[in-house]
Amino acid sequence: MRMLLPHPLVSLALFLLWLLLNQTVAPGPALVGVVVALLGGRMLTRLRPAKLRVGRPLVALRLAGIVAVDIIRSNIGVAQVIMGRRKERHSGFIHIHLAMRDPRGLAALATILTATPGTAWVEYDNEEGWLLLHILDLVDEDYWVRVVKDRYEQPLMEIFE
């Protein structure tokens, strides 16, 4: 059974997504959905994802709370910029040197920064560890370096490394 369904939850999710996207449970599309689900689970096995081990689950929960608050605050700040309440707006790019090297931690950091309105992960130099970040309302570069390093990178390093 493990050969046919190496990742049963992934296969089930793919099948249900296929049915939702097709908006039908007719036999033809359902059969194609089964094939997509089976092949999708097998393809995930070929990628050989590393076992995920969350080192500090309480740190992960605290980080999720910090990110949620930051996203809400950033939404308000971006809304103020768009509505013209902040007359002087200086967008810009900053380089931040990251100590983190774990690909899962970097992916989580990229997701956090891009999901936060007003910031965008632009580029990452894997060899040097430099992150290029775009900020919509860049007032203080040191503030953003501290935010990324202290609020996001440090907890992510505790979780993933």
Question: What are the structure tokens assigned to 59, written together?
Answer: 């740190």
Give buried/exposed letters for 44-71 (b at 16+ CB in 10 A, else e).
Answer: eeeeeeeeeeeeeeebbeebeeebeebe
Each residue of 31-90: pLDDT tens digit? 999 999 999 988 888 877 667 676 788 999 999 999 999 999 999 988 888 887 766 778
Q: Is the pLDDT of residue 136 over 80?
A: yes
Q: How far apart are CA 80 and CA 106, in angstroms?
A: 30
Question: What are the structure tokens assigned to 57, written together?
Answer: 């689950």
Each residue of 87-130: pLDDT tens digit? 677 889 999 999 999 888 999 999 999 999 999 999 999 999 99
The mean of the pLDDT values for the chain is 90
The pTM assigned to this predicted structure is 0.71
